[in-house]
Amino acid sequence: MDGSIKIQETPAAPTRMPQRSLRNIALLAMCQALTQGSNTLMFASSALAVLTIVSPDMNMWANLPITMQHLGVMLTVFPASMLMMRRGRKFGFRTGSAMGMVGASLAALGLGLGSFPVMCVGGIFLGNAVANMQLYRFAAVELAPGAFRAQAISYVTAGGVLAGIIGPSLARFTPDLWMPLFQASFVAVVIVHAIVFVILGFIEFPAVKTEDTAGPQRPLFEIVTQPAYMVACAGAIIAFGVMSFVMAASPLAIVQCGLSRTEAPITIFVHVMGMFLPSFFTGHLIARFGIFNVMITGIAILVAGVVVALMGVTEWHFRGALALNGVGWNFLFVGATTLLTTTYRPAERGKAQAFNDFMVFGVTTVASLMASVVLELQGWAVLNYVALALVLVALVVIAGFRLRHPSRA
């Protein structure tokens, strides 16, 4: 013995995501792009399609199928998550795609029959498809090693960039392919969900393990009352709520302010690009600077969007405000989602994720409905002041948690 002490070296952390993980995440991002694109197409077409089959005194209900879609998300996000816990991600996601095909088929059938109620029922089924799509970001975490959790969420969210092209493009070219108007748009949604159903079959999701469902579980109340969980949920709620509130009102505000109706699609396109383009690097920013720094940066960008909106009502003010709103949403929402994944055990993930999305899309439903009311009664400036107040609430919650728990930062 020479008396020397041999020190066992700890393997260096990988610097690149494994190729297999990248392949699976790329396919999941493609599903995100197609499903989100079909959802954008429904938002662009449903209300206009309703106007072709209802009397003028029913015009105020034109958005009801979309509202029913939001309701469908709220009603099915818990069952969808629980189904995946028992049968696996692939089975659950493919079930969601099947429900999307059913919902779009009912919308097309209702339009052909001139039946407004059938179109609304279709919205409920489409809500199930959207509820499943929102769980893609959590599935991404399971497809990548732990060190790449934020990047995986970010890459899948980045599928929205293609969605911002796919949805508006279909909305532009499909409405008048045949009569009745917009029926071809709904058929296109059926085809898109069928393509997603096929792609999901090539993704190698982790098999359901016994410990994933039979492991130790805390009561839901104990999980959701953790300070970190509440901060993550609040961040996601405010990010999505403020984004929906401003986005839903902007097309109406553009017309109210005397700008051309053709400006609305341009502004929404810029907004969608702002939402999803940063996803190519948000995960890397989180890994380098920390979750809370990125979330607070998102809040600052949302505030900047409000400031630009209050500075004027030209087309560039709308574009700038909505672009900043989208980027701020991305930083705050991706950060909140990443934080949320640290607050539950494997066996708890179904109910923990479902409760978060139930709260997020419950608030989003209300925000979308209230946007036109606030705009009509109080105007664009007041609407932005309301958005600013909500963003400042997020700042207080997140900054307060960070000061109290510096180790988490």
User: Under DSSP, is residue 10 helix (H, G, I), strand (E, B) or coil?
Assistant: coil
The predicted structure's pLDDT at residue 11: 46
Q: What is the pLDDT of residue 10?
A: 40
Per-residue H/E/C for 60-105: HHCCHHHHHHHHHHHHHHHHHHHHHHHHCHHHHHHHHHHHHHHHHH
- pLDDT (tens digit, 9 = 90+) per residue, 208-250? 765 555 567 888 889 889 999 999 999 999 998 898 888 877 7
CATH of region 18-207: 1.20.1250.20
Mean per-residue pLDDT over the chain, rounded: 83
Tens-digit pLDDT profile for residues 308-339:
999 998 889 999 999 999 999 999 998 998 89
Could you tell me the fold of the domain covering 219-409? Growth Hormone; Chain: A; (1.20.1250)
What's this model's pTM, rounded to 2 decimal places?
0.74
- Convert the pLDDT of each residue in 142-182 to its tens digit: 887 767 777 787 778 778 788 878 887 887 788 888 888 88
Contact indicator for 189, 56 with CB cutoff of 8 Å? no
- Give me the residue label for tokens 């502004």: 267
pLDDT of 358 > 50? The answer is: yes
Name the band, by pLDDT with cuts 50, 70 and 90, for residue 87: confident
Residue with tokens 């510096």, as numbered in its chain: 406
Query: In the chain, what percentage of residues exceed pLDDT 90?
Result: 27
- Most confidently modeled range among 251-255, 349-353, 403-407: 349-353
| pLDDT value of position 5 | 40
Average pLDDT over residues 380-395: 92
Q: Is the pLDDT of residue 61 over 70?
A: no
Q: Which pLDDT score is estimated for 1? A: 45
The DSSP code for 226 is S
pLDDT at residue 47 tops 80: no
Using the predicted structure, report yes or no on whether residue 295 has a pLDDT greater than 80: yes
Q: Summarize the confidence of residues 45-74 as an average pLDDT.
A: 74
In this predicted structure, what is the pLDDT of residue 320? 93
pLDDT of residue 7: 37
Question: What is the C-alpha separation between 395 and 400, in angstroms, rounded?
Answer: 8
42, 66 contact by CB (below 8 A): yes
On the question of a common fold for 18-207 and 219-409, the answer reads: yes
Residue 182's identity, in one-letter code, is: F
pLDDT of 282 strictly over 80: yes
Q: Cα–Cα distances in Å, from 36 out to 125, 197, 258?
A: 15, 14, 31
Provide the pLDDT for residue 14: 57
Domain limits, the chain? 18-207, 219-409
Cβ-contact 39, 50 below 8 angstroms: no
Q: Tell which residue, 192, 399, 379, has the closest CA to residue 297.
A: 399
